[in-house]
Amino acid sequence: MKHDLILAGVGGQGILSIAYVLDNAAINAGLTFKQAEVHGMAQRGGAVQSHLRYSDQTIHSDLIPHGRADTVLSVEPLEVMRYWQHLRPQGWVVTSVTPYVNIPDYPDEAVLLDQLAEFPNLVLVDSGQLAKAAGSQRAQNMVVLGAAAPLLELPERYLVAHIRSLFAAKGERIVEVNTRAFALGQAAGRFFRGLVDAGMDPVPALRVCQKMAPDTIDPDRAAEWAAALAQDRARLDVVLAAEAPWACSEIPTFAR
């Protein structure tokens, strides 16, 4: 196996932390890896990117050519647009939709989401919302890592183990916040993909995910939600207009 990954975000979002977890999980899985230097961290809020490659064969370069990356994993939505050219034709984009507005002409959220929705293989998560539910906005990087986890071909137990080791020195509360952020991101990412795979467009699928109480998200119920909401636009409007979050288990009552 071989996986080529572009990590992207802005300075201060914890790109190195994601790389640490992936590098060590790859070693545990008996793989070789190469990681290019992380660029941009000298300026907090500036663009940050790194190339990360792992394989069961020898890796000859730490740089991923344009058109060859399996995944672009970004903790900031606009940063996807810097690096999408690296994707292979069937590559995946996994990104937060929580903006880090660090430039005066940052694009309108709706325009940016529409651009992201054009990627055929896409996972969108609201890392700000999910990190808050986990206990800290600083855990957004672990939310996005969780959302990407099903695509990364690395055992989940190794990923979680190295999240725990990464934050161990900061105490058990911080460890639990970050492992919880990973779990919430994984569930939300799978739920989003379940909605899209069942026929929902990406932007409405994201909005439905944002209306779910994070603790209740059950990816196995995504197709059921998509089927109920596909029956008429009014049902989707009801979900999106609700002030209180929906519990994922509410779909049987709602569907009637």
Question: What are 15-27's pLDDT values in tens digits?
Answer: 889 999 999 999 9
Cα–Cα distance measured from residue 141 to residue 9, given in angstroms and rounded to the nearest whole number: 9
**Residue 125 dihedral angles phi and psi, to the nearest 5°:** -135, 150
Give the pLDDT confidence of 197-207 residue by residue, as tens digits. 999 999 999 99
Q: Exposure of 209 by Cβ count < 10 A (0-12 exposed, 13-18 middle, 19+ buried)? A: buried
* Averaged pLDDT score across all residues of the chain: 92
Helix (H, G, I), strand (E, B) or coil at 34: strand
Find all residues with CB under 8 Å of 144, minimum gap 6, and list them: 18, 73, 74, 75, 94, 95, 96, 125, 127, 185
**In the predicted model, is pLDDT for residue 219 greater than 90?**
yes
**236: which 2 tokens?**
């989707």
pLDDT for residue 229: 93
**Residue 79 dihedral angles phi and psi, to the nearest 5°:** -65, -20
Adjacent-strand bridge partners of 35: 52
pTM: 0.94
Q: How far is CA 95 from CA 30, 74, 84, 138, 172, in A?
A: 27, 5, 12, 16, 27
2-198 — its CATH code? 3.40.920.10
Give the pLDDT confidence of 31-82 residue by residue, as tens digits. 998 988 666 554 556 778 889 999 989 888 888 989 999 999 999 999 999 8
Per DSSP, 83 falls in state: H
Cα–Cα distance measured from residue 151 to residue 45, given in angstroms and rounded to the nearest whole number: 27
Domain ranges of the chain: 2-198
Rounded average pLDDT over 152-173: 97
| Interaxial angle between packed helices 156-167 and 15-28, expressed in degrees from 0 to 180 and rounded to the nearest 10 | 130
